[in-house]
Amino acid sequence: MSGGFGERARAAVRRIVGDGFSGAKASGRGEAPANVALVKYWGKRDEELKLPVTGSLSISLGPLGTKTELARAPDGTSADEIWLNGRPVGGGEGFARRLTAFLDLFRPADGFRYVVRTANNVPTAAGLASSASGFAALVRALDDFWGWGLDAERLSVLARLGSGSAARSLEHGFVEWLRGAREDGEDSVGRKVAEAWAGLRIGAVVADAGEKPVGSGEGMCRTAGTSCAYAGWPARVEADLAAVKEAIAAQDLAALGAVAEANALAMHGTMWAARPPLVYQLPETLAAMRQVWAARAEGVGVWLTMDAGPNVKLLFDARDEGAVHEAFGGKLTVVRP
Ligand code: PMV
């Protein structure tokens, strides 16, 4: 998980911000979109720097994401003061511990504490919220507060240290997170591939909005370490990345949807074969999956993807929105990316 950064993460931050911890503004602000991976990130080659085994590619969720404001806490404050959606978060909570460990990388002096106010506008029940937009918005707020003026790729290196998928949340549209080859992670950055095209829609069907039992960090570590189905995953991803980029360039939703759906199912296949197994699907998840396939058999252009949780995300064209609503009723949230 994200806690307990060591010297290599501190060095990665220093390489980017140098000694840029003077002349702070009174407060800094940042915002960032959530993203849904179309070709998934599942497995790290470096735990501390969160360097991935493969590249990945996502679509950002337009207006849905996180807004964050930060300021310096008064001298003598013993801990960062963290607010989430207007409510104070206790220092013992996982959310605060993870944020504080990350902020430890950005303190000009030992006793320096932050006040962080962060808010997600992703409907919490939609199953689309994630740590990605949170860390991306936080590094944008830090950049504003300290006046670094870093570009999106440099910021993505910082955001990645908080959560891997956050490297894809510094830009709108289609974003690739490059695997990179360097040991220090300097070349493992988020890079915009294309704008989202006008008719594209992302849907979310909620099976369960509660907290997942096994987080993505632990899940990918267990899968890479124990699943006999993992060996074929990296080559699969490389091929899927090439196919998805072609589909994006051609604005070909059927090709994009087919690869994204197959890629997500392949990822979940690696999880099912982990020991002990990782099965995020609930009965409601499987029902939604079958619903997608039934709708498609009837000519509706809709494809599914799933992350480390039970909710099903959909890809479709705006002209099919009525049919998709009909299939999923009140459980569906639709986003224009
Ligand atoms: O960066 P994390 O720890 O939130 O991992 C994300 C893992 C998946 O959502 C399953 C896939 C992805 O690429 O977003």
Higher pLDDT, 206 or 30: 30
CB 2 within 8 A of CB 47: no
Instruction: Provide the 3-class DSSP secondary structure of residue 154.
Output: helix
The pairing of strands 87-89 and 190-194 is: unpaired
Q: Is the CB of 271 under 6 A from ligand 1?
A: no
User: For ligand 1, is residue 177 a contact (CB within 6 Å)?
Assistant: no
- Per-residue pLDDT of 52-85, as tens digits, reads 999 999 999 999 999 999 999 999 999 999 999 9
| Confidence at 331, pLDDT banded by 50, 70, 90 | confident
Most informative mutation of 41, 98, 212 for ligand 1 (most atoms within 8 A of CB):
41
The CA distance from 311 to 289, in Å, is 10
Mutate to test the pocket of ligand 1, among 1, 307, 311 (most ligand atoms within 8 A of CB): 307
Nearest alpha-carbon partner for 165 in 22, 284, 66, 27: 66
Give the per-residue pLDDT at 124. Answer: 65
pLDDT in tens, 82-129: 999 999 999 989 899 999 999 999 999 989 999 999 999 987 666 787
User: What confidence score (pLDDT) does residue 130 get?
Assistant: 76
190 conformational bin, left if phi > 0, alpha if psi -120 to 50, beta if neither: beta
Average pLDDT rounded to a whole number, residues 127-133: 83
- Name the pLDDT band for 1 (thresholds 50, 70, 90): very low
- pLDDT digit string (tens) for 136-170? 999 999 999 999 999 999 999 999 999 999 999 99
Task: Tell me if 115 sits within 8 A of 74, measured CB to CB.
Answer: no
Q: Cα–Cα distance between 222 and 214 in angstroms, integer?
A: 10
| pLDDT over threshold 60, residue 2 | no
* Ligand 1 atom closest to the CA of 131, numbered from 1: 4
- What tokens does 226 get? 């124990």
Q: Is the pLDDT of residue 198 over 50?
A: yes
Ligand 1 closest atom vs CA 36: 14
**Does the CB atom of residue 157 touch ligand 1 within 6 A?**
no
Cβ 56 under 6 angstroms from ligand 1: yes
pTM (2 decimals)?
Answer: 0.96
55 lines ligand 1 (CB under 6 A): no
How far, in Å, is the centroid of ligand 1 from the Cα of 216?
Answer: 6
Residue that is written with structure tokens 């197959």 in the block = 262
Asked if residue 60 has its Cβ within 6 Å of ligand 1, the reply is: no
- Quote the pLDDT of residue 125: 67
Q: Residue 208's pLDDT band (boundaries 50, 70, 90)?
A: confident
pLDDT tier at 273, thresholds 50, 70, 90: very high
Confidence of residue 317 (pLDDT cuts 50, 70, 90): very high
